Amino acid sequence: MEIILKKNCEITLQNPDDFKQFHVTVDGSAMEGTEVLGALGPQATAAGNDEFWISADHVRALANRTSDLEWQQNFTKMLETVRPHGWSNEDLTRIRVHVKRL
């Protein structure tokens, strides 16, 4: 799963069925961390070192799979799997993501 953040701040979700990886790809390496955070909007907070916490509900909205029960279950399972490693919070409402730059 990959959130694409374009230079014009347009956000899309690619590979929504890939539950083995999750990151933000920034199209434009000159974009600073604060600019990335601003583009991600109020559903994100800084976690440091080009990492951010993003609302799990925002990811669900980007995936546009609200009525797909199987997808919802797989996404929740992904959050549960990464929680012991610090990549989701205890109540599974936020997921930590790292930034890849093009």
Cβ atoms of 102 and 36 closer than 8 Å: no
What range defines the domain where residue 50 resides?
2-101
- At 27 the pLDDT is 81
- At 46 the pLDDT is 94
Per-residue pLDDT tens, the chain, 102 aa: give them.
999 998 888 899 999 999 999 999 998 766 788 888 988 989 999 998 889 999 999 999 999 998 999 999 999 999 999 999 999 999 999 999 999 988
- At 57 the pLDDT is 96
Q: For residue 95, give the nearest of 49, 70, 58, 42 by alpha carbon.
A: 58
**Residue 5 token pair:** 């953040």
**Residue 39 token pair:** 């583009």
Based on the structure, what is the number of domains in the chain? 1
- At 29 the pLDDT is 66
**Distance, CA of 1 to CA of 82 (rounded, Å):** 14
Tell me what percent of the chain is helix, strand and coil, each rounded to the nearest 5: 30, 30, 35
